[in-house]
Amino acid sequence: MLVSTKQLLLDAQKGKYAVPAFNVHNMETIQTVVEAAAELRSPIIVAATPGTMKYAGPEFFIKIVEVCSNKYDIPIAMHLDHHESFDDIAHAIQLGSKSAMIDASHYDLEENIRRVKEVVDYAHRYDVTVEGELGVLGGQEDDLIRDAKDSKYTNPAQAKEYVEKTGIDSLAVAIGTAHGMYKEEPKLDFDRLAEIRAVVDIPLVLHGASGLPAEQVKKAIELGITKVNIATELKMPFAAKLREVLNANPEESDPRKYFGPAKEVMKKVAMEKILMCGSNGKA
Ligand code: 13P
Ligand code: ZN
Ligand code: NA
C-alpha cells in the first residue's frame, strides 16, 4: 500500500536522518530505486514531476509504484514533485498518490499561500501530505550579496507565517541549492537553515541535492532536513551506461541487454544516496 509522507518524515525528524526522494521516469528506473531501498531496508519516496507524468501517464506511473509498495515490505510513498496545477494534483490523488508538492514558490507570498492552502484543504481530506516551497531555488551564485540572498533564499520569519497560514506538512527551503549539477561547489547557508528550524517545527526538505558533497547534505540533515531530493545524479549514470553499451554494441536491439547494465549503475548510486541520508535500516 502506498503511504503518505507524514509518518515517514516525522520518524526521520525524530531519528535525525532523511528519507531520499528519487526522481525517476519509467518502470525500469522505478524498480531500480525501489530495489536499492528494499536491499538497504530504507523507506523511500518515488517522485515524479508533471513532465514525467505527461511522459509516462499518471495512471501507469502511480500504479507501478503502488505495485512496488505491495511487493516489498518497506514504506514507499508516491510523491508528486514540483506540481503546479491543482487539477493535476487532484487527479493524481484520485489515482492513489498520497503525497504532493505544490510549487507556487515563484509567486509572491500572498499568492503562494493562497495556491498552497487550496491544495492542502483538498489533500488533507484524503490523508495526503503536502509540501510547499518558500524561496527561490537555483541560480547559485557564490558572490550573492546578503540583500540578494534575502530576496531569494527562504526568510525564516516568513517561513513561520507561511507554514501557519498554509497548513502544509513539510517545507522545501531555499538555502543555496540548485537543480542539476553545480559549476562550483555550492556554499549552503546553514545559519539560515538553523534559523528556519528554530521557528518552524514541520519536516524540512532539501531540493537540488545532486552535486552536493555528502558532508554538506549530512550537515543539512543534522540541522533538520528530513527529505532529500535527488534527480540528476540518478539520470546521468543511467544514460552514460546506456550510451556505453549501445556504442560498444551497435547491433544490439534487446532492451534487456542495455537497460540491465544501466539499472545496475543507477542502483549503486541510489544505494550510496540512501547511506548518505542515513535511512538504511529504518524500514
Ligand atoms: P537535482 O537534480 O539537483 O538532484 O534536484 C532534484 C530535485 O530537487 C527534484 O525536485
Ligand atoms: Zn526540486
Ligand atoms: Na543539484
Domain ranges of the chain: 6-232+267-277
Give the residue carrying C-alpha cell 540491465: 260
| DSSP SS3 for 203 | coil
CA atoms within 13 A on the CB side of 143: 0
Half-sphere exposure of residue 243: CA atoms within 13 angstroms, side-chain side: 6
Range from 37-51, 141-155, 189-203, 239-253 carrying the lowest mean pLDDT: 141-155
What was the ipTM of the complex prediction?
Answer: 1.00
Question: Which atom of ligand 1 sits closest to the CA of residue 177?
Answer: 3
What are 39's strand-pairing partners?
none
Q: What's the pLDDT tens digit per position in 240-262?
A: 999 999 999 999 999 999 999 99
Other Cβ atoms less than 10 A from the Cβ of 9: the count is 26
Answer yes or no: are the C-beta atoms of 221 and 16 closer than 8 Å.
yes
Q: Which ligand is nearest to the CA of 23?
A: 1
231 marked ligand binding residue? yes
Query: CB atoms < 10 A from the CB of 120, how many?
Result: 21
Q: Which atom of ligand 1 is nearest to the CA of 235?
A: 2
For 6-232+267-277, CATH number out of 3.40.50.970, 2.30.110.10, 3.20.20.70, 3.30.590.20 equals 3.20.20.70
SS3 3: strand
Q: How far is CA 278 from the centre of its chain?
A: 16
Tell me how far apart the alpha carbons of residues 277 and 1 are, in angstroms, rounded to a whole number. Answer: 23
Ligand 1 in contact with 179 (CB < 6 A)?
A: yes
Percent share of the chain, pLDDT over 90: 93
Q: Would you give the DSSP letter of residue 211? A: T
φ/ψ of residue 226, rounded to 5: -125, 0
Q: Is 81 a catalytic residue?
A: yes
